[in-house]
Amino acid sequence: MAGFVPSNRELRAQMLSDAGLPPPERLFDSVPQDLRLDYPDGCPQLDGPLNEPDLINRLRAMADRNLPAADHICFLGAGAYDHYQPAAIRHLLLRQEFYTSYTPYQPEVSQGTLQGIFEFQSLVCRMTDLDIANSSMYDGATAAAEALLMACRATGRNRIIVADTVHPHTREVIATYLPPNGGIVDVLPADPDGSWAGALANQPPDEQTAAVLVQSPNFFGLIEDLPAIAELAHQAGALAIAGCDLLSLAVLKTPGQAGMDIAVGDAQSLGLPLSFGGPYAGYLAARQSLLRRMPGRICGETVDRHGRRTFVLTIQAREQHIRREKATSNICTNQALCALAVTMQAALLGANGLVEAAGQSARKAAALRQALCETGWFLPVHDRPFFREFAVRMNPESWPETTCTDLNRYLAAQGVIGGLDLAGPAAGSAIPGGWLLAVTEKRRQSDMDCLIDLIGAYRRDRGWKS
Amino acid sequence: MKADAPVKLIFEYEGREATCRLLPADDSAPMDLAAVLGSENLRPAPPEIPNLAENQVVRHYTGLSGKNYGVDNGPYPLGSCTMKYNPKVHEDLAALPGFAGVHPLQIPETTQGCLELLAELEKQLCMICGVDRMTFQPAAGAHGELTGLLLMRAWHLSRNDHKRRTIIIPDTAHGTNPASAAMVGFEIREIRSGPDGMVDLDALEEALDDETAGLMLTCPNTLGLFEKDIRRIADRVHEAGGLLYYDGANINAILMQARPGDMGFDIVHLNLHKSFSSPHGGGGPGAGPIGVASFLEPFLPVPVVSSTADGRLFLDEQRPLSIGRVRGFHASFSVLIRAYAYILANGTGGMREVSESAVANARYLQSRLSRAFDMPYKTPCMHEFVLSAGNLKPYGVSAMDVAKRLIDYGFHPPTVYFPLTVKEAMMIEPTESEDRESLDALAEAFLAIAHEAKTQPELLHMAPHNTPVSRPDELRAARQPVLRG
């Protein structure tokens, strides 16, 4: 007998009786009788109880119905990437002192968590070249929305300009978060060549603009001209906000170097499993002057009574538990354990490994795009530098009545996870026949050859010319 | 290594020049990175992160973990946080490659197992809450609040009722309630609690008008008291045209004993990291799904799990009345796996035992401590209770001193200075995870501290004594911020 409740009815009755308290059956007397569930007859029947082996079997059976991308050949990205997580991370995260503890309100017994947060903040600052970072946000999409709210407060303005090449989920979250706060969102399409800096120059921000938000690498993997965008924003007195995948910054010009005021993004690519969409961790970094506008927890270094280095949650006068409705955000939970995993991944890879993982992803993606276009079955969509991810589209002459989803179904049956169908609902503004593929350091040349061979086989099965 | 030995920052170790051996070799065609990315787009120098050996990194984080107190160390009676035991098997289940390796945008033919788990968990949670549908989008409790309030707003606007601008919140509420309401553009009307610690019906009556969008309520409330007039409260809010939002922070007290939906709540949020045993992770990740009565279903965030005529599951994104999306992708899925496993392991009977034991433990502890501390509310508590250390004030001892001294006795402190309505508040929630022996040990420690407060107050002022660090200089942290290394 294990279970998770160390007492039983008899022990509880004894305990209550020893204290002179009414018996267990009267514990819920303060709940009006007509609201109490009548057990067992009038009580809904949950599944279970299951013993541990049966529980494992039940969930394993469910897991077995999936085709997990991470264990197969995966070319799917679009905001979540199949990078390698070293084994040591999971072993370290399973230390109960990390995973079972609460938000570090009692610093004397939480220095492990607090230093972990401080290191995450330091990592984000080192990756982005910005001055300050918070302890993490729910994910990249909510971090972007919170950054825009922060920009509205900081500037006293309420219009924001968002690039249409920002991840569609991020744009949707912004559309949910901003209007109830009086924010007005203008989505500005990129120029036909995929450049957003050019589009912004033609339709520049004005004195009502609180911020411009651009993502780089953008949803299609393209690298945006951040310095030009920052300059256009600053000319109008608006803040420049960049959405950047954290791993990409190992090799790409940083938001800080580009003159951006705030950087946000998802850290999933750096240490977190795909897990069907979460939990991941968002980050939010900014210039020093924006410190008191920041949402979320911030950890700082100080000393204890004996002058020893000590970490503590600080600058809390921004937060909900003190300011209530005047807080900079309602967020209290961050993604502490995910942020810890991210820092561990960076520590395990080191600068060399980070550059290697990011560099290999970029090079292998470039190689695959070239190989796909050389078949003639696919056409390029953009002609600009890209990182890890790129769009192609089906050559209409080669693909009668076929969608990328059809192709993805065929590939999945062969154990290959294809790219995102850009004509589908997850893609935002649709590109007919468009296919968004990501390549990480996990992919070998043989995986890419396999993809092209399978596409060839799909075509041969249909009697189409190769 | 001793737990109190300092551990330097991971960035302060001396690295060495070495190839990273955790990654595959690059077997693709050799290409110059500058040619691929554009030389103008390159980072001029790599980030300043040392290149360490795996064993150095492992020792670093093992050292850090030794400076934390976790649920497996002993009682963690943080009121309103429900620090219950986190079953070990859950970690294995969440890590199954068939779950952890699934990409969120795979075609549904390859994710039927994930979708089945979402659909099954939704069914179970609907039964537990007495609601009709759930969304798993919210990433945390406060995020659930935000989502629930967006639903309220959308519902009023859909009826062309544009003047519903006010959210009513009791003065005992969590700080996230007003902060979330403000993020949705609502005005907050705070109402005082009655002398019994519950919603004052007259104050509620005064606050209700044709601008009321709704009421946010925790039940049992943050004092651990079940709102005896909940039926009446729900009726009055509904009659005034408002909706009822259930802050699920305290649902551990009533699991399978009573249901928020039956009480009249229209929107219910759950903290799966509190009541459903998924670990807190040192402050996340959590999950804050919300359940709604059927009339609110059309407004739920996208996506929701639906099934085709032939029973195949898919994520439905095409919902014209939806408030939209509140996060990227679908859910904090691995948190949901743990909550689902917890429900399956317990079943209805097990869940009832959880709530019964949680309440029995709290009431026993309350009774043992009532002689040594002020007890501002005499009503029998549910799963938690609030004491005041006000009686120790004459000795110069505060609730914070008591909390810090508890650490020396080997326990995590309770929540202090909350709710705001009680001076020198200590909010104590033992949860069902404790046996009588540990409750007695905790009680003895509190009683010993109450005695020390009178005889050796200095001992409390200087506490804790045996931790890696003593009380931090918080003023210095805020005035001379050092926020990165």
The answer to whether A215 faces chain B, any CB pair under 8 Å, is: no
Distance CA B33, CA B18 (A): 20
* Domain shared by A235 and A96, yes or no: yes
Number of other residues whose CB lies within 10 A of the CB of residue A38: 8
Distance CA A79, CA A72 (A): 18
pLDDT at B61 over 70: yes
A149 and B183 within 8 Å at the Cβ level: the answer is yes
Burial B53-90 (b: 16+ CB within 10 A, else e): eeebbbebbbbbbbbbbbbebbbbbbbbbbbbbbbebb
Which pLDDT score is estimated for A195? 85
pLDDT at res. A444 = 96
Percentage of chain A exceeding pLDDT 70? 98
> Which residue in the set A63, A80, A223 is minimally distant from B113, CB to CB?
A63
CA distance A404 to A37: 51
Q: Residues A410-466: pLDDT tens digits? A: 999 999 999 999 997 767 778 999 999 999 999 999 999 999 999 999 999 999 976
| Residues of A with Cβ-Cβ distance to B351 under 8 angstroms | 46
Determine, yes or no, domain membership for A54: no
| Spatial distance between the Cα atoms of A188 and A199, rounded to a whole number of angstroms | 7
Task: In chain A, count H helices and then E strands.
Answer: 14, 15
For residue B94, the chain A residue with the least C-alpha distance is A275
Does residue A172 share a domain with residue A306? yes
**pLDDT per residue over B234-291, tens digit each?**
999 999 999 999 999 999 999 999 999 999 999 999 999 999 999 999 999 999 999 9
Please state, rounded to an integer, the average pLDDT across all residues of chain B: 96
Instruction: State the smallest CA–CA distance between residue A460 and chain B in angstroms.
Output: 23
Band (pLDDT 50/70/90 cuts) for residue B217 is very high
Mean pLDDT computed over every residue of chain A: 96
A244 contacts A94 by C-beta, under 8 angstroms: no
Provide ipTM, 2 decimals. 0.97
Do A334 and A377 lie in a common domain? no
Last residue of a domain, one of A294, A316, A344: A344
- Cross-chain residue pair A300–B470, CB shorter than 8 Å: no
Contact B347 A110 (CB under 8 A): no
Domain shared by A456 and A377, yes or no: yes
* Per-residue pLDDT tens over the stretch B290-299: 999 999 999 9
Cis peptide bond N-terminal to B376, omega within 30: no
In a domain, A420, yes or no: yes
Residues of A in contact with B44 (CB under 8 A): 253, 257
Q: Where are the alpha helices (DSSP H) in A316-396?
A: 320-323, 336-374
Best residue of A100, A264, A406 to probe chain B, by most B CBs closer than 10 Å: A100
Residues A117 and A239 in one domain: yes
* Interface subset of A 64-83, CB within 8 angstroms of B: 64-71, 74, 76, 78-80, 82
Q: How far apart are CA B320 and CA B150, in angstroms?
A: 15
| Cis amide linkage into residue A6, ω under 30° from 0 | no
User: How far is residue B72's CA from residue B74's CA, in Å, rounded to a whole number?
Assistant: 6
What does the pLDDT average to over B158-167? 97
From A344, A365, A389, give the residue that closes a domain.
A344
Residues 6+ apart with CB under 8 A from A456: A375, A466
Q: Are residues A193 and A137 in the same domain?
A: yes
Contact A66 B112 (CB under 8 A): yes
Which sequence spans correspond to the domains of chain B? 89-344
B183, B221, B406, best to mutate vs chain A, most A CBs in 10 Å: B183
Choose among B70, B100, B285: nearest Cβ to A97.
Answer: B70
pLDDT of residue A424: 78
Task: Find the closest chain A residue to B182 by CA distance.
Answer: A325
Of the pLDDT bands very low, low, confident and very high (cuts 50, 70, 90), residue B25 is confident
- Looking at the predicted structure, is the pLDDT value of residue A1 above 80? no
Among A235-239, A422-426, B164-168, the minimum mean pLDDT is found in: A422-426
All residues of chain A having their beta carbon less than 8 Å from the beta carbon of residue B281 are 98-99, 101, 335-338
* Nearest residue on chain B to A50, alpha-carbon basis: B345
Phi and psi angles of residue A185, each rounded to the nearest 5 degrees, phi first: -105, 120
Task: Please choose, from the candidates A420, A244, A4, A306, the residue with its C-alpha nearest in 3D space to the C-alpha of residue B71.
Answer: A4
Check CB contact under 8 Å for A50 and B344.
yes
Question: In this structure, is residue A152 part of a structural domain?
Answer: yes
Whole-number Å distance between alpha carbons of B364 and B362: 5
In this structure, are A208 and A300 located in the same domain?
yes
Are the Cβ atoms of B70 and A100 closer than 8 angstroms? yes
Q: Report residue B28's pLDDT band, with 50, 70 and 90 as the boundaries.
A: confident
To probe the interface with A, which of B469, B475, B476 has the most A CB atoms within 10 Å?
Answer: B469
A238-249: pLDDT as tens digits: 999 999 999 999
Is residue A249 a part of any domain in this protein? Answer: yes
A336 with A357, same domain: the answer is no
- Closest residue, chain B, to A413 (C-alpha): B110
What pLDDT is recorded for position B231?
Answer: 97
Q: Do A55 and B93 touch (CB under 8 A)?
A: yes
Per the structure, the complete domain to which residue A361 belongs is given by: 351-461
Residue A299 Cα, gap to closest chain B Cα (Å): 6
The most distant pair of C-alpha atoms in chain A lies apart, rounded to whole Å, by 87
- The shortest C-alpha distance from A67 to chain B (Å) reads 5
Tell me, yes or no, if A354 comes closer than 8 A to chain B by beta carbon.
yes
pLDDT of residue A192: 85
How deeply is A213 buried, as exposed, middle or buried, from its count of CB atoms within 10 A (0-12, 13-18, 19+)?
buried
Report the run of H or E that residue B119 belongs to, with start and end. helix B112-129
| Chain A (252-291) residues lying within 8 Å, Cβ to Cβ, of chain B | 252-254, 257, 266, 273-281, 291
Distances, alpha carbon B291 to alpha carbons B151, B182, B259, in Å: 11, 21, 12
List the one residue out of B81, B99, B195 whose CA is nearest residue A102: B81
Task: Flag if B354 and A346 touch (Cβ within 8 Å).
Answer: no
Q: Which residues of A fall within a CB distance of 8 Å from B283?
A: 102-104, 113, 117, 135, 297, 333-334, 336
Q: What is the pLDDT of residue A318?
A: 86
In chain A, how many domains are there? 2
| Beta-bridge mates of residue A265 | A283
Would you state the pLDDT for residue B42? 98
Question: How many Cβ contacts (< 8 angstroms) between chains A and B?
Answer: 717
Together in a domain, A219 and A281: yes
Q: What is the pLDDT of residue A2?
A: 63
Instruction: Let me know if residue A137 belongs to a domain.
Output: yes
Nearest to B24 among A181, A297, A444 (CB): A444
Q: Is residue A457 part of a domain?
A: yes
**Residues of chain A contacting B179 with CB distance shorter than 8 Å:** 320, 323-325, 327, 329-330
For residue A379, pLDDT over 90 is answered with yes
Span B350-374, mean pLDDT? 97
> Rounded to 5 degrees, what are φ and ψ at B232?
-65, -45
Which of A311, A344, A377 is where one domain is finished? A344
What is the average per-residue pLDDT within B122-134? 98
Q: What is the pLDDT of residue B27?
A: 87
Question: Which whole number is the average pLDDT over B155-167?
Answer: 97
Hey, of B28, B83, B91, B120, which one would you mutate to test binding to chain A, going by the most A CBs within 10 A of its CB? Answer: B28
Between B383 and A320, the higher pLDDT residue? B383
Same domain, A234 and A117: yes
Does the residue A36 lie in any domain? no
Q: B400 CA to chain A: closest CA distance, Å?
A: 10
> For the segment A70-111, what is each residue's pLDDT rounded down to a tens digit?
999 999 999 999 999 999 999 999 999 999 999 999 999 999
Residues A409 and A367 both lie in one domain: yes
Highest CATH level, class, for B89-344: alpha beta
Measured between beta carbons, the chain B residues lying within 8 angstroms of A257 are 43-44
State which residue of chain A sits closest to B127, comparing Cα positions.
A44
Say if residue A49's pLDDT is above 70. Answer: yes
Select the residue of B37, B54, B70 nearest A387 (Cβ to Cβ): B37
Give mean pLDDT, residues A187-195: 89
Grade residue B2 by pLDDT with cuts at 50, 70 and 90. Answer: low
Pairwise CB contact (< 8 Å): B333 & A275: yes
A414 touching chain B per CB within 8 A: no
Which CATH number belongs to the domain containing residue A386 in this structure? 3.90.1150.10
Nearest CA in chain B to A16: B364
**What's A146's domain CATH number?**
3.40.640.10
CB contact under 8 A, B484 and A331: no
Reading the block at residue A222, the tokens are 């393209």
B277 with B84: CB under 8 angstroms?
Answer: yes
Token duo for residue B115: 């979708």
Same domain, A370 and A331: no
Instruction: Please name the residues between 89 and 118 in chain A that touch chain B, using a CB distance below 8 Å.
Output: 90-92, 94-113, 115-118
At residue B3, does pLDDT exceed 70? no
* Confidence band, pLDDT 50/70/90 cuts, at residue B134: very high
Whether B72 sits inside 8 A of A96 (CB atoms) is yes
Q: Do B356 and A169 touch (CB under 8 A)?
A: no
Q: For residue B415, what is the nearest residue in chain A, using CA coordinates?
A: A105
Is the Cβ of A50 closer than 8 Å to some Cβ of chain B? yes
Nearest CA-CA distance, residue A406 and chain B, Å: 10
Contact A417 B103 (CB under 8 A): yes
